[in-house]
Structure 1
Amino acid sequence: MSARVSTKSFLPLLNIEKETKRWNQLYKVMTEPKPDIIPTPRKCVWKKNKTTLWYHPAKEKKHAVPVFLVYSLLNKVYILDVGEGSSVVGGLTERGYDVYLLDWGTPGLEDADLTLENYIIDYLENALKRAIRHSGAKEMSLMGYCLGGTMAAILASITSLPIKNLVLAAVPIDFSIGTVPQKWLDGIQNGELSFDRFANAYQTLPSEFLYLMFKLITPLNAATMANLYTRAHDEIYVEKWRRMDKWTKDAQAFTGAAFKQFFNDFYKENKLLKGELVMDGRKVDLKNIKCPLFVFSCSRDTLIAEKQSLPIMDLVSSEDKTYEVYEGGHVSLVLTGVFAEIMDPWLSTRSHDLQEIRS
């Protein structure tokens, strides 16, 4: 006597439409050119060397205090304005903020002698001054992300410019710990590992080196590809993935002088945390920061550990200070479009409502 066995319990039914879309999207990722990045409407209001200050007007202005965004020198700034639905800049302009975005540009060999001090004083401070003058506002909210947050905190501690609020996201403050391999960190701190000769030889470090360095400390390619396959049927997700993939591979060059200062003054000597850093003859003392402060970290950040950010909460003199941890990774926090959602509730109550001022 024979028995017929149904295969229904063994083979799940395939959603043909979903699977077709999945493989079409994967083919698109593999074969089509990288997507164009269309910025939020903007105009250039200041320029120095390779650096540009972009002004993004609010769609419907609701807040009197504009927001000035600072990003890291190590990567390209368009991660903060990477496309509709993900853009930090667009999210803020939609919520009624005028936004100024500092784009450092790509340094060439002729810029090899530019130090972090040059970037913070000659570029960042002057750009902030120009933004305040352009906006006509009495004060400006300063927001820094990643190493841009470190630079924003440094500037806030030494400048006389009117900073109303300071927002720092995934910011490294304590460089005695980190997500770089421990042997690297130990070698830098005890003097066995130095990048000085390497930086002197290249003068301006090529983008390929920075890309390789980040690949070594964040080996997530397998995970990101697995995520892409799992959600390839979702056109919105795939489009965001393609923008992220473009930005990840679009590495930034870095001046030799700034690179040496970064590793020697920060990773080796940890001068910022110790209060030993000096910029343009001005001692960098984070206790000088007295404005409202909002700091937030990411729970799955593989670049900036939460312990690197936390010390600033005890170092500043701000009475109004908030620290939060949000679910997400270093880059996914930006690409999901929630960055502006995180900032807005805190920032809106400290940015003066236009109707209240007019009344």
Structure 2
Amino acid sequence: MFAEAISYAVDSYQRSILFLDVMRQRAVQYREHAAETAPHVLDYEAELVCDGRTLARPVNYALVRIVPPPRIVLDPRKRPFVIVDPRAGHGPGIGGFKADSEIGVALNAGHPCYFIGFLPEPEPGQTIEDIARAEAVFLERVISRHPEAEGKPCVIGNCQAGWAVTILASLRPELFGPIIVAGSPLSYWAGVKGKYPMRYTGGLLGGSWLTALTSDLGAGKFDGAWLVQNFENQNPANTLWTKQYNLYSKIDTEAERYLGFERWWGGHVMLNAEEMQFIVDELFVGNKLAAGEIRTSDGTAVDLRNIRSPILVFCSSGDNVTPPQQALDWILDLYDSVEDIRANGQTIVYCIHDKIGHLGIFVSAGVARKEHDEFASNIDFIDVLPPGLYEAVLEPKGEAVERPDLVTGQWVMRCEARTLDDIRALGGNDLDDERRFAAVARMSEINLSLYRAFAQPWVRALATPVMADAMQRLHPLRLQYEMFGSANPWSAWIGAAAERVREDRKPVSPENFFLGLQREASERIVDGLEAWRKASEKWSEEVFHTVYGSRAHQAALGIDQNSARPPRKAAKNMLHAALVQSRIAELKSHMTRGGVSEGLARAMLYIRMPGGTTDERGFEAIRRIRETAADESTRTLEEFKAMLREQFFLLLIDEDSALSAIPDLLPENVEERQAAFDTLLELLGARGQLTDEEADRLERMRSLFRIEREPARKLRSPERKAS
């Protein structure tokens, strides 16, 4: 036991010195990173395409092209990917700071790749609208550089970049291919009781007046370090203990990974006061995005129903910053049913990870190799899905999967039809909860007006640029880096001491008794901090519900307590209803328009409709047939998508008439009809055996194609054959 104690003491001392040396290296790295003109953490070479500072309304954003590594071969026919990183306190680059990343998987799939990043300091007077206009220019540049691409760019918006992308897509829908929003809070009020307390913060602080105060103390700029602090406050166990203990306990192997992440985590950036106030008032406290209540400077309403591209929402049940409800409940705010989604021509696909945290959505290598890899590989499949609501389900390729030659990666992506009840089943607010948050929004407006009228002039007079700079330097998050830097004379000895330790390193045995005690002590500390977090969250929720659930308080704020309509439900548009009826009349005139391709698409959609499920194998089979078919080889992906959607809508509008018209789309020649039917069988067989109902529908197609011999036996399920 004495020998074990001595061994542990030596190891603990050495790990302490090496830990301090990593802190010293972190401080040096922090200083070097901050000194860069355009600091980022991209692991790829990039070339500037467009500098936002040169635009008519200058912004601190820029578009760069990712230069693919030598081993990567890009396909000019594939649509480009554009990754937009969040400006949520950190600098850019997290979407491509290692090989297994969003940029990495897009390049590996053969797609040209672009990145939209930003500089640490905003341009004077820039607004969120200015940034949106600049990103529109960026996308125009990307489109013009890829005239051979089959489809508009796929745009990925991470976290706060997700809502920025959707705002732009609602204003300029013609610029977008599929949109992937990852961990993005589009419906900030949403959540589940007992979880996700971050949404209560605005109410507990009295609204957005504190945002205005912080910006005024910063001489017109909001320090992004405060946003990072908010993230860290959500997990005190990790912030105060686990992150550092993990480095200390694995000091011989963990330093490189730790420093790599800290390079991004400590790269704090600034926002203009106008930008931050818009984010808090309009999006977070106001929750106006999904309700269509945000207006541009010229009065244009930002309505997410204007988006014409498929939207893929990626979120996680383990994300306490943007839980699934905040990522998905905008669908409930905008639409009354799946039929309503279809009437708007919208395709929405969501994928819910079971446990990954907020940052893991963007930085986890496992997520990149699975979810993001599948999204990149199957982006054209997502683009041609019929309008509706789907959940993306990933299952291992394995040996049990039929037609593995049609699967691009190690996972099979299947899209299963869902209804709004599936979104509601995830949990969410009731009407009383919505009224509470509406009360917060009203209180925030009042408090902000009072602050601007009585306090803001005095604060602005006192907050000089020198004072603002001093406050920025003294922020606790910056001090934790600076205290181990060269400016601290007490840290001068650490580097030399660490070198001596490395020369004589004596790690302790994993079975050491005292090392076990160390692990147990760490677990108890984590348990204590977790208990503190849960108690604080419970207290916060109870205070929030008590204060803003008071009927007297709500009445004083003008909240209608008798209305059955949620306070932030999106308004209906009568013009859109009229346009839908006009479109239906137009489609009915297209029942017999087209040829074999239209007939095959209509037949395939009809047969697969009962299951409401499709996967990548079916699309891959279609793609291969398109490449060889004479009437399809010249049809662009966009035209093919339009054709599929038209056939789908014809079946929805009048199924009997659409089916009766199929013989008019087919050739009279028997051999040609047989060849078309064989193609249908090949498409249906790509995903495996048919269900009973699908097999019955195939029999109906046989008669419409006027095929004499029995074709469907091999596609029936074993149970069907036995019966």
Per-residue CA distance 1:203-247 (angstroms, 9 max, x = gap): 11234444444444453321212232344343xx53222111222
Alpha-carbon offset, residue 333 of structure 1: 3.6
1:173 pairs with 2:186: yes
User: CA separation of 1:312/1:183 partners in 2, compared to 1, >3 Å: closer, same or farther?
Assistant: closer
Moved more, 150-159 or 286-295: 286-295
Q: For residues 216 and 140 of structure 1, what CA distance do their matches in structure 2 show?
A: 36
1:129 pairs with 2:140: yes
Report SS of the residue matched to 1:161.
Answer: helix
Aligned with residue 228 of structure 1, among 240, 244, 247: 247
Alpha-carbon offset, residue 104 of structure 1: 2.1
Per-residue CA distance 1:3-35 (angstroms, 9 max, x = gap): xxxx69x969x89xx999977863552332338
Q: For residues 157 and 183 of structure 1, what CA distance do their matches in structure 2 show?
A: 28
Look up the match of 2:380.
351
Q: For residues 199 and 227 of structure 2, what CA distance do their matches in structure 1 show?
A: 19
Q: For residues 168 and 186 of structure 1, what CA distance do their matches in structure 2 show?
A: 26
Report SS of the residue matched to 2:290.
Answer: helix
Alpha-carbon offset, residue 129 of structure 1: 1.4
Aligned with residue 19 of structure 2, among 26, 36, 43: 26
Aligned with residue 91 of structure 2, among 59, 71, 76: 76
Moved more, 173-182 or 62-71: 173-182
**Contact 1:297 / 1:326 at 8 angstroms: preserved in 2?**
no
Report SS of the residue matched to 1:107.
Answer: coil
Which amino acid counterpart does residue 186 of structure 1 have in structure 2? G
Q: For residues 115 and 48 of structure 2, what CA distance do their matches in structure 1 show?
A: 10
**Contact 1:107 / 1:204 at 8 angstroms: preserved in 2?**
no
Q: For residues 134 and 253 of structure 1, what CA distance do their matches in structure 2 show?
A: 32
Q: For residues 247 and 316 of structure 2, what CA distance do their matches in structure 1 show?
A: 21
Q: For residues 374 and 204 of structure 2, what CA distance do their matches in structure 1 show?
A: 42
1:56 pairs with 2:51: no
Look up the match of 2:397.
none
Alpha-carbon offset, residue 177 of structure 1: 4.5
Alpha-carbon offset, residue 153 of structure 1: 1.4
**Contact 2:186 / 2:330 at 8 angstroms: preserved in 1?**
yes
1:40 pairs with 2:44: yes
Look up the match of 2:120.
106
1:273 pairs with 2:290: yes
**Contact 1:139 / 1:162 at 8 angstroms: preserved in 2?**
yes
RMSD of the alignment, in Å? 3.5
Aligned with residue 300 of structure 1, among 318, 343, 359: 318
Q: For residues 136 and 320 of structure 2, what CA distance do their matches in structure 1 show?
A: 30
User: CA separation of 1:346/1:335 partners in 2, compared to 1, >3 Å: closer, same or farther?
Assistant: closer
Report SS of the residue matched to 1:250.
Answer: coil
1:119 pairs with 2:112: no
Moved more, 132-141 or 19-28: 19-28
Per-residue CA distance 1:296-321 (angstroms, 9 max, x = gap): 11333232222210214444743352
Report SS of the residue matched to 1:304.
Answer: coil
Larger relative contact order (Cα-Cα within 8 Å, sequence gap ≥ 6): 1
Moved more, 152-161 or 297-306: 297-306
Look up the match of 2:102.
88
Q: For residues 46 and 207 of structure 2, what CA distance do their matches in structure 1 show?
A: 45
Matched length = 343
Aligned with residue 221 of structure 2, among 176, 180, 204: 204
Report SS of the residue matched to 1:164.
Answer: coil
Q: For residues 107 and 199 of structure 2, what CA distance do their matches in structure 1 show?
A: 41
Alpha-carbon offset, residue 145 of structure 1: 0.5
Any unmatched runs of 5+ in structure 1? 1-6
Q: For residues 220 and 24 of structure 2, what CA distance do their matches in structure 1 show?
A: 36
**Contact 2:292 / 2:304 at 8 angstroms: preserved in 1?**
yes
Report SS of the residue matched to 1:282.
Answer: coil
Q: Identity of aligned pairs, percent?
A: 18
1:337 pairs with 2:365: yes
Alpha-carbon offset, residue 180 of structure 1: 5.9
**Contact 2:182 / 2:361 at 8 angstroms: preserved in 1?**
no
Q: More strand per residue: 1 or 2? A: 1
Q: For residues 154 and 338 of structure 1, what CA distance do their matches in structure 2 show?
A: 30
**Contact 2:167 / 2:302 at 8 angstroms: preserved in 1?**
yes
Q: 1:299-318 counterparts in 2 under 5 A?
A: 299-314=317-332, 315=334, 317=341, 318=346
Any unmatched runs of 5+ in structure 2? 34-40, 54-59, 336-340, 382-619, 629-723
Q: Which is higher, the Rg of structure 1 or of structure 2?
A: 2
Report SS of the residue matched to 2:95.
Answer: helix
Q: More helix per residue: 1 or 2? A: 2
1:140 pairs with 2:168: no
Q: For residues 177 and 322 of structure 1, what CA distance do their matches in structure 2 show?
A: 16
Alpha-carbon offset, residue 172 of structure 1: 0.3
Q: For residues 19 and 133 of structure 1, what CA distance do their matches in structure 2 show?
A: 59
User: CA separation of 1:148/1:11 partners in 2, compared to 1, >3 Å: closer, same or farther?
Assistant: same
Q: For residues 174 and 18 of structure 2, what CA distance do their matches in structure 1 show?
A: 49
Alpha-carbon offset, residue 96 of structure 1: 2.0
Which amino acid counterpart does residue 126 of structure 2 have in structure 1? L
Alpha-carbon offset, residue 265 of structure 1: 1.0
Report SS of the residue matched to 1:61.
Answer: coil
Q: Structure 2-normalised TM-score?
A: 0.43
Q: 1:235-250 counterparts in 2 under 5 A?
A: 237-250=254-267
1:163 pairs with 2:176: yes
Q: For residues 347 and 192 of structure 1, what CA distance do their matches in structure 2 show?
A: 38
**Contact 2:189 / 2:199 at 8 angstroms: preserved in 1?**
no
Report SS of the residue matched to 2:135.
Answer: helix
**Contact 2:360 / 2:367 at 8 angstroms: preserved in 1?**
no
Alpha-carbon offset, residue 253 of structure 1: 0.6
**Contact 2:42 / 2:94 at 8 angstroms: preserved in 1?**
no
Q: 1:286-297 counterparts in 2 under 5 A?
A: 286-297=304-315
**Contact 1:65 / 1:140 at 8 angstroms: preserved in 2?**
yes
Which amino acid counterpart does residue 91 of structure 1 have in structure 2? V
Which amino acid counterpart does residue 112 of structure 2 have in structure 1? D
